[in-house]
Amino acid sequence: MITALELGLIYALVALGVYLTFRILNFPDLTVDGSFTSGAATAAVLIVNGTDPFLASAAAFVVGALAGLITGLLHTKGNINGLLAGILTMIGLYSINLRIMGGANIPLLGEDTLISGLRDVAGSGWTSVLVLVAMALVFKLIIDWFLHTDSGLALQATGDNEQMITSFAVSTDRMKIIGLMISNGLVGLGGAIVAQFQGFADIGMGIGLILVGLASVIVGQAIFGTRVVMQATLAVVLGAVVYRLAIQFALNVGLNPNDMKLMSAVLVVAALLLPQWKGFQRIAQWRKNRTALDAAGDATLTSEAKTHGEKVR
Partner 1 sequence: MLNVSEVSKTFFPGTVNERRALDDVNLQLAAGDFVTVIGSNGAGKSTVLNTVAGRITQEKGVVELENRDVSKLKEHQRAAQIGRVFQDPMAGTSPNLTIEQNLSLADRRGYSRGLRLGVTASKRERFAEALKVLELGLEDRLRAKVGLLSGGQRQALSLLMATLSQPKVLLLDEHTAALDPQRAELVTRLTTKIVKEQKLTTLMVTHNMAQALEVGNRLIMMHEGRIILDVSDEEKEKLAPGDLLAEFSKIKGAVVDDKTMLQ
Rounded to 10 deg, the angle between the 126-147 and 114-122 helix axes is 130
Query: In the complex with partner 1, which residue's Cβ is closer, 7 or 16?
Result: 16
Per CB under 8 A, 153 contacts partner 1: yes
Q: Which residue of 15, 88, 165, 194 would you call a contact of partner 1, by CB under 8 A?
A: 165
Q: Which residue of 166, 198, 231, 291 would you call a contact of partner 1, by CB under 8 A?
A: 166
Q: CA 79 to CA 77: how far, in whole Å?
A: 6
Q: Where is 106: in which H helix or E strand?
A: strand 105-107
Contacts (Cβ under 8 Å, ≥6 apart) of 300: none
Residues facing 201 on adjacent strands: 106
Contacts (Cβ under 8 Å, ≥6 apart) of 48: 106, 108, 111
Q: CA 104 to CA 173: how far, in whole Å?
A: 35
Q: Which residue of 109, 253, 301, 305 would you call a contact of partner 1, by CB under 8 A?
A: 305
Q: CA 2 to CA 11: how far, in whole Å?
A: 14
Q: Which residue of 51, 116, 151, 248 would you call a contact of partner 1, by CB under 8 A?
A: 151
**Strands 200-202 and 105-107: what pairing?**
antiparallel
Q: Which residue of 157, 177, 194, 222 would you call a contact of partner 1, by CB under 8 A?
A: 157
| Residue of 220, 216, 215 whose CA lies nearest to 235 | 220
Query: In the complex with partner 1, which residue's Cβ is closer, 288 or 306?
Result: 306
Q: Which residue of 45, 48, 73, 160 would you call a contact of partner 1, by CB under 8 A?
A: 160
Amino acid at 133: V
Query: In the complex with partner 1, which residue's Cβ is closer, 125 or 309?
Result: 309
Per CB under 8 A, 253 contacts partner 1: no
# binding residues, partner 1 (CB under 8 A): 31
Least spacing, CB of residue 16 vs partner 1, in Å: 18
Binding region for partner 1 (CB under 8 A) out of 4-12, 34-42, 83-91, 153-161 = 153-161
Residues facing 106 on adjacent strands: 201
Binding region for partner 1 (CB under 8 A) out of 80-88, 106-114, 116-124, 146-154 = 146-154
Per CB under 8 A, 163 contacts partner 1: yes
One symbol per residue from 275 to 304: x for binding partner 1 (CB under 8 A), - otherwise; what is it?
A: ----------------------------xx
C-alpha distance from residue 32 to each of 65, 71, 213 (Å): 10, 10, 9
Residues that bind partner 1 (CB under 8 A): 146, 148-154, 156-157, 160-161, 163-172, 303-306, 308-311, 313
